[in-house]
Structure 1
Amino acid sequence: MERNLDLIALLAYIDPAYLAYQEWINVGMALKYEGYTASDWDDWSKRDGSRYNPGECFKKWTTFEGTGGKPVTGATITQMAKDNGWMPRSGGEDRELGWDDEIAGDYVVVDKNWIEGKEIHEPAVWNPVQQLTTYLTTLFEASENVGYVVDTWQNDEGKFLPTKGAWDRTAGELIQLLNQSNGDIGSVLGDYNPEAGAWIRFNPLDGKGVKNDNVTEFRYALVESDTMDIEKQHAIMRELELPIAVLVYSGGKSLHAIVRIDAVSYDEYRKRVDYLYNVCKKNGLNIDNQNRNPSRLSRMPGIERNEKKQFIVDTHIGKSSWAEWNEWIEGINDDLPDPESLANYWDNMPPLAPPLIEGVLRQGHKMLMAGPSKAGKSFLQIQLSIAIAEGIKWLVWQCTQGKVLYVNLELDSASALDRFKNVYLALGLQPRNIDNIDIWNLRGKSVPMDKLAPKLIRRAAKKNYIAVIIDPIYKVLTGDENSADQMAHFTNQFDKIATELGASVIYCHHHSKGSQGGKKSMDRASGSGVFARDPDALIDLVELDVTEALLKQEENKAVCAVYKQLFEKFNLNYLDEHVSQDDLLSTRAMEDHAKRAIPRQAEAAKESLEQAVRSVRKRSAWRVEGTLREYPKFDSVNMWFQYPVHRVDDVGSLKDIEPEGDAPAWKKATSKRKDKANKERRSKADEFEDAVNNCNMGEAPTVKDLQEWFSSTGKTVADRTIRDWIAKFGYWIDKNNGNVVVKKEDGDGGNDHD
């Protein structure tokens, strides 16, 4: 059956941990229907660590025999993937490749000016049966159906063309009959026209037809050129190390190279043949584009055509597999620089990239900001955008002035614009350089990062941005954030943006769950450690555990500040002559002075005073720590977040405050001992309940399922022990329903329980 999509790739968008049991079963049934293996289902199911049970997929797989009703097909997986953010390729830059499209890249191996032709030689002893049996044993399994054609018809121009031919005989059957034919191929295949020759298909068929839909394995592709000298064709094919299974002389103007493709689906076959043909063309082999289809006919060896023999030139040429050849081609044509001697630069070192954030990040480098959801990371990134646009400080660090692109993935356009204006106003800044800020609003339109990166690069190529800020990345995250290799692929997209644009890429990520105070800054970001180790600068935010005493102190400062502003506006002389430095820090003293010197204004300011107190209570306190690749480690920066801006604690109020969860060592030790004791006291009943809920992927288990679950640690648990636990912990065995274990409150236990 033809596979239009690679379902394994689509499974990357579907997390089995979030599926109901029947949905998980449906995925397995769809994979089996579409011709995949139980191993494919098992590999995907392993992502659900809490419910995965080794061997379960293979056991269930054998029961998927179909019921005669409507089957579960690959469309089920396709829809699940769409529901989780996958978007099918359609028009524009993401469309399917056309047959005549070329893939970017040089991939040049052969120097066409110096290539010398390589002769082919007709077999010294002509043995048609040996020729054809060699072809069949090289390309086919004995049980696979082979398509071939010996009958022809002539068109108006007198050219002989093949009919559909035969397709209902296996390779093993043909080989056996050929070996019994006494050299008479025609007695097995039927007589062919010696003027026309004969043809054979190089991929196995299902025995029902000869279309692409009938191809059962997308194993080989045909490479042929009939516009070049044969000896030159031969030389280029060998120079390219093409993974040729069989090379056949057509008896005419060309060689037919049957090249290993090893594709798992028709979609992958198309992509690999596009790539193969592109490499051949770039290296001077003029390919016949009509030969791309997997059901295509090729010339049959062991046949004579116009008094010329169709014969095998060689077998097993070049690389042994598609993967080996592909890796070799990519390796030869990589664009990596050659190693260089340090001595070449010692006395004339190249200049370092200029700073974007002084002491933190250079231009063209990457920075990650990590923190919990309530840290105001988006506002902090907006502050950074403004600092770069205006060329001012961001927190305590001076920023280089330039253009910045803020990629907004979360807010609607109006909300994003409103936030920028509010931050400008809260900072008391004049919008002198707002033309340096571009906002790309993508809420509802975001795509995975590997698709977004080229679109972003194309739009930003001529804008001269010195920074690109992406907020937030969970909207474009692809793959499992706990997988190092998948996250390496994800973060590589930031490298592409930085390299292509010469701009710094800044993005934020959330903390893992739980208290973060006792962790190092590099260990707080959720998911794989790749997140923390990939960027050139990691800025991490951790909340400080503000005491009631400190809040009272801050309230006092805020109230005193309001009174001071009133004196500066209405009675500055009194402030200068009668209010001491100590009074400026005392709420009671400032209130007394205000009642005496500006009583009317003091009375009118009650709302402002109350607002000042309320604003303090809405603050949260944060500590900024960092891990830097290009600069020395900086001292921690403490700040207050008071919507919508972060302000550095210049007076040191927060310097002695500990992050939330960061207790002294003796308290941590005590807490650990308590946690351990509580864990050890966890009852066996709870453990047994977990086993019942999880050992059979959410379905009610049997005694055997439970025995295998508890024995998986290496120590065998007896059947009798399991039955004792069933009775002890409030369960019973339902004999009328497959001997499954059921909790007593889920059923009455009846007369059929043990």
Structure 2
Amino acid sequence: MEHKLDLVALLEYIDPAFLSYQEWVNVGMALKYEGYTASDWDGWSRRDPARYHPGECFKKWTSFEGTANPVTGATITQMAKDNGWMPRSADREDRELGWDDEISGGDYVVVDRNWIEGKEIHEPATWNPVQQLTTYLSALFESTENVGYVTETWQNEEGKYLPTKGAWDRTAGELIQRLNECDGDIGSVFGDYNPEAGAWIRFNPLDGCGVKNENVTEFRYALVESDEMDIEKQNAIMRELELPIAVMVYSGGKSLHAIVRVEASNYDEYRKRVDYLYNVCKKNGINVDTQNRNPSRLSRMPGVERNGKKQFIVDTNIGKASWAEWHEWIEGINDDLPDPESLTDFWDNMPVLAPALIEGVLRQGHKMLMAGPSKAGKSFALIELCIAIGEGVKWLGWQCTQGKVLYVNLELDRASCLHRFRDVYTALGLPPQNISNIDIWNLRGKSVPMDKLAPKLIRRAAKKNYIAVIIDPIYKVLTGDENSADQMAHFTNQFDKIATELGASVIYCHHHSKGAQGGKKSMDRASGSGVFARDPDALIDLVELDVTEALLKQEENKAICAMYKRLFEQHNPAYLQEHVSQDDELSAKAMEDHAKRAIPHIMADIMPTIQQVIKSVKARSAWRVEGTLREYAKFEPVNMWFQYPIHRVDDVGSLKDIEPEGEAPAWKKATNKRKESAQKERRSKAEEFEAAVFNCKMGEAPTKKDVAEYMGVSEKTVARYMKEHGGFTYDANNNYTIIEKEDQEE
């Protein structure tokens, strides 16, 4: 299934300041091709104040007319990948958490920012810029590692000072040595800076060839910085979180810059650890500026002044000593798992089991998956289930508990869905006495991924007291690759959320994989990962039965007999009781003969009805319901007919011996094939014999000798054909003339 990426979100990974002019134009062309607006391009372009000119994006936007080889969203996707973005499908199963991931171990809340007291910061009693910079460089770098820094700035049209790319070709050891020799003049080492703007430094070592992410040699640190709360509270929360901070610097403005140890082995691991770090910070009230994700990011340089305020080191070596120690601590402090229980404490006082929703199949608050191929009428079956729960009646033979149910319609337009409910009610013959128990949430064209839909659903359903929520179908809200166990486990966890929060059963629908399903176990038929079959508490699987022509003929006979019986009951019930036997009620021919005698005045109108009955029977399909249950014993397969718009259980056993496609053993398939071949051959011989009888004497009655000569066989063989194929006999004088049996009877 195709999922359209949010290209604006991917632009977070692309810094326009590092793009060439053509690359910048390509981003704009890709956005226009994919249906975004000029404002999206303009908003992103503002991140490069050195080259940004108001109105330029809008002017160029109108010139993008399209070409035979357009620039598409794939260009932006590749740029984002080059800068660290990874699609979910590429993540490892043991990956760290991303921004949109569910944190399954808890909320990672360590501090309550509403109650925590701020912790003040203090300027150094003695201002020593050389000491500040020497301490910073010694804390973060090896002496041989290259350091990137910026002292030169420029002003944009709003008067804001912004950094240039700066320098990156000197090592930490060289800088420390020159600082010790500069006699307090740090400008002679780093270059003079503008005291209104301050200066910047990069916190990860570089290769001496540039300042992009690809130039970072060690992914050692990440920047945590936010300007949305008081400095004192920032300081207090970072310390309460035990962040493994190597150096904390006051920016001279609204924020602290915490250089946090992440100690990643490569860029991919760095990105995941930073996402995890930022997520924990966000949960605890620090809304980190996500543009600081990049390992080559600039941070504020200590030992300089900025607009009358000093940029200085607040502290070093705060919190845990390493990423591993902090990660273990943050996971442990949020462990809200229950303690182990002793069986002896509950042996004589077992907790009460959840009551049944579908007797013998599913308990209330549990999950059920219905799987089946197209044409099985899965949506109709789920609508039937809604009605069964709402009215408190049986569904496919199983009694349902009565209660309120929510049907989440993701596929049908609103009018079609509402009509379906009424059509099914009518076909079931149920009066709509409790339709107030059924709510329908029509989301066609408005559906969102399941992890986004779940909280919206929970919020709307919280006070409705539903005992069941039915989601049809799930492919509309599927997130990730359905063949990935990792991603499908995350997807199905959303159903657990709904069931837990609402105390309601969650029932959802999925499709079969391709190919014949008869030879598979019911739990292996659903498309995609095995998680689909193993996650729910009940799996109801529909597989089509291979109905024979003979069985359809029997069903036509039954349907016609039932039609005649209804006509007798309506127009001449006394005749039905006195003259029609039980055997007659099973024969369409007998019922027709009785009808000609008992209700001749309506016979002229019966034929169209019979044709409609036959057409209806031919339109039927037959299905077998199998199941895999967690809470109940396995049930015997249920056979049923699907005759639009409802399913009817085969109570009389007509489908008992019918097998699904592909289920018969090899020897039986071969036998059936031989039988079919023999029947075809017999039909062919009969047709050949019949043609010879009528054609050998140009339509006149031939003798056995005439037919034998015409067919090139013996008269004995002709006699055998007459016996095997029927329909012909000797004439009344027992001579060699062959005539049709029907003619003889007349």
Q: Which of the five TM-score ranges fits, normalised by the shorter chain?
A: 0.5 to 0.7
Sequence identity percentage: 60
| CA-CA distance at 1:297 after TM superposition | 5.0
Q: 1:9 to 1:607 in 2, by over 3 A?
A: farther
| CA-CA distance at 1:128 after TM superposition | 6.1
Matches within 5 A, 1:359-508: 359-508=360-509
CA distance in structure 1 between the partners assigned to 2:551 and 2:290 by the alignment = 78
| CA-CA distance at 1:395 after TM superposition | 1.2
Larger radius of gyration: 2
| CA-CA distance at 1:359 after TM superposition | 0.5
Deviation sequence 1:347-390 (CA, Å, 0-9, x none): 21111111111110111111110111010111111100100010
Alignment-derived partner of residue 520 in structure 2: 519
Find the partner of 2:109 among 99, 107, 110: 107
Alignment-derived partner of residue 645 in structure 1: 646
Alignment-derived partner of residue 595 in structure 1: 596
| CA-CA distance at 1:488 after TM superposition | 1.0
| CA-CA distance at 1:490 after TM superposition | 1.2
Alignment-derived partner of residue 656 in structure 2: 655
Amino acid at match of 1:414: A
SS class of match (2:469) = strand
TM-score, structure 2 as length reference: 0.66
| Aligned partners of 2:304 and 2:310 also within 8 Å | no
Q: 1:356 to 1:171 in 2, by over 3 A?
A: farther
Alignment-derived partner of residue 138 in structure 2: 134
Are residues 1:36 and 2:34 paired? no
CA distance in structure 2 between the partners assigned to 1:448 and 1:28 by the alignment = 22
Alignment-derived partner of residue 681 in structure 1: none
Find the partner of 2:150 among 147, 153, 161: 147
| Aligned partners of 2:410 and 2:444 also within 8 Å | yes
Q: 1:147 to 1:205 in 2, by over 3 A?
A: farther
Matches within 5 A, 1:613-692: 613-667=614-668
Alignment-derived partner of residue 556 in structure 2: 555
Amino acid at match of 1:147: V
SS class of match (1:621) = strand
SS class of match (1:653) = coil
CA distance in structure 2 between the partners assigned to 1:44 and 1:270 by the alignment = 18
Deviation sequence 1:177-216 (CA, Å, 0-9, x none): 44245432443135789x999754445799999999x999
Amino acid at match of 1:500: E
Unmatched runs of 5 consecutive residues or more in structure 2: 1-6, 15-67, 93-98, 101-105, 673-746
| CA-CA distance at 1:522 after TM superposition | 0.3
SS class of match (1:440) = strand
Alignment-derived partner of residue 176 in structure 1: 174
Deviation sequence 1:109-149 (CA, Å, 0-9, x none): 699899999999999x996674243145279962x632358
Q: 1:569 to 1:128 in 2, by over 3 A?
A: closer
Amino acid at match of 1:107: V
CA distance in structure 1 between the partners assigned to 2:448 and 2:306 by the alignment = 56
| CA-CA distance at 1:302 after TM superposition | 10
| Aligned partners of 1:369 and 1:507 also within 8 Å | yes
| Aligned partners of 1:147 and 1:204 also within 8 Å | no
| CA-CA distance at 1:38 after TM superposition | 10
Deviation sequence 1:55-103 (CA, Å, 0-9, x none): xxxxxxxxxxxxxxxxxxxxxxxxxxxxxxxxxx9xxxx9xxxxxxxxx
| Aligned partners of 1:121 and 1:313 also within 8 Å | no
| Aligned partners of 2:178 and 2:189 also within 8 Å | no
Q: 1:149 to 1:449 in 2, by over 3 A?
A: same
CA distance in structure 2 between the partners assigned to 1:459 and 1:140 by the alignment = 60
Unmatched runs of 5 consecutive residues or more in structure 1: 11-21, 47-88, 95-103, 152-160, 282-286, 672-754
SS class of match (1:569) = helix
CA distance in structure 2 between the partners assigned to 1:24 and 1:437 by the alignment = 49
Amino acid at match of 2:170: G
Deviation sequence 1:15-60 (CA, Å, 0-9, x none): xxxxxxx9999777545544617996998699xxxxxxxxxxxxxx
Q: 1:118 to 1:491 in 2, by over 3 A?
A: same
| CA-CA distance at 1:518 after TM superposition | 0.8
| CA-CA distance at 1:398 after TM superposition | 0.4
SS class of match (1:651) = coil
SS class of match (2:468) = strand
Amino acid at match of 1:179: Q
Amino acid at match of 2:586: L
Alignment-derived partner of residue 300 in structure 2: 298
| CA-CA distance at 1:607 after TM superposition | 1.9
| Aligned partners of 1:242 and 1:318 also within 8 Å | yes
| Aligned partners of 1:423 and 1:644 also within 8 Å | yes
| Aligned partners of 1:409 and 1:472 also within 8 Å | yes
CA distance in structure 2 between the partners assigned to 1:267 and 1:40 by the alignment = 9
| CA-CA distance at 1:514 after TM superposition | 0.7
| Aligned partners of 1:355 and 1:400 also within 8 Å | yes
Alignment-derived partner of residue 737 in structure 1: none
Amino acid at match of 1:419: R
| Aligned partners of 1:149 and 1:200 also within 8 Å | no
CA distance in structure 2 between the partners assigned to 1:139 and 1:563 by the alignment = 100
CA distance in structure 1 between the partners assigned to 2:163 and 2:456 by the alignment = 48
Alignment-derived partner of residue 221 in structure 1: 224
SS class of match (1:466) = strand
Amino acid at match of 2:560: V
SS class of match (1:5) = helix
| Root mean square deviation of aligned Cα | 5.3
| CA-CA distance at 1:165 after TM superposition | 6.8
Matches within 5 A, 1:19-30: 30=76
How many residue pairs get matched?
Answer: 582
Are residues 1:5 and 2:15 paired? no
Q: 1:122 to 1:547 in 2, by over 3 A?
A: farther
CA distance in structure 2 between the partners assigned to 1:165 and 1:338 by the alignment = 54
| Aligned partners of 1:140 and 1:171 also within 8 Å | no
| Aligned partners of 2:143 and 2:171 also within 8 Å | no
Q: 1:141 to 1:456 in 2, by over 3 A?
A: farther
Alignment-derived partner of residue 703 in structure 2: none
Deviation sequence 1:231-253 (CA, Å, 0-9, x none): xx58x755533132324589999
| Residue range with higher mean Cα deviation, 606-615 or 24-33 | 24-33
| Residue range with higher mean Cα deviation, 449-458 or 311-320 | 311-320
| Aligned partners of 1:368 and 1:506 also within 8 Å | yes
Alignment-derived partner of residue 568 in structure 1: 569
| Aligned partners of 1:250 and 1:311 also within 8 Å | no
SS class of match (1:386) = helix
SS class of match (2:347) = coil
| Aligned partners of 1:574 and 1:597 also within 8 Å | yes
Deviation sequence 1:394-416 (CA, Å, 0-9, x none): 01100011111111111111111
CA distance in structure 2 between the partners assigned to 1:557 and 1:288 by the alignment = 72
Q: 1:509 to 1:167 in 2, by over 3 A?
A: closer
| Aligned partners of 2:413 and 2:444 also within 8 Å | yes
TM-score, structure 1 as length reference: 0.65
CA distance in structure 2 between the partners assigned to 1:602 and 1:368 by the alignment = 49
| Aligned partners of 2:368 and 2:540 also within 8 Å | yes
Q: 1:426 to 1:304 in 2, by over 3 A?
A: closer
